[in-house]
């Protein structure tokens, strides 16, 4: 399952995303190499990322973290259909 993250700090790191999904009672593991940051054509970050999870259950747990924060930014999460 793939989850789109929106509202990330522009300086967000992979480690922060891994921690965001791992913490709490609904912690879940991101697929190895499963984080893709979206950048503008000039290379600057957009504040979006796509995150892949190994299965539907992990993806559903991830979606329960909708509107939680990284730093001072609240993060919106959406199930991505491809």
pLDDT band at 82 (very low <50, low <70, confident <90, very high): confident
58 has pLDDT over 80: yes
28 has pLDDT over 90: yes
Can you give the residue ranges of every domain in the chain?
2-80
Query: Can you count the helices (H) and strands (E) in the chain?
Result: 2, 6
Q: Which residues pair with 30 in a beta bridge?
A: 53
Rounded CA separation 61/12 (Å):
21
Give the CATH class of 2-80. alpha beta
Q: Which residues pair with 51 in a beta bridge?
A: 3, 35
pLDDT band at 68 (very low <50, low <70, confident <90, very high): very high
């Amino acid at each position: 399952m793939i989850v789109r993250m929106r509202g990330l700090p522009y300086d967000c790191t992979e480690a922060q995303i891994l921690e965001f999904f791992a913490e709490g009672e609904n912690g879940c593991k991101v697929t190895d190499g499963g984080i893709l940051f979206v950048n503008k054509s000039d290379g600057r970050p957009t504040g979006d990322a796509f995150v892949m999870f190994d299965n539907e259950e992990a993806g559903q747990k991830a979606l329960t973290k909708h509107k939680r924060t990284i730093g001072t930014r609240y993060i919106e999460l959406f199930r991505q259909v491809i």
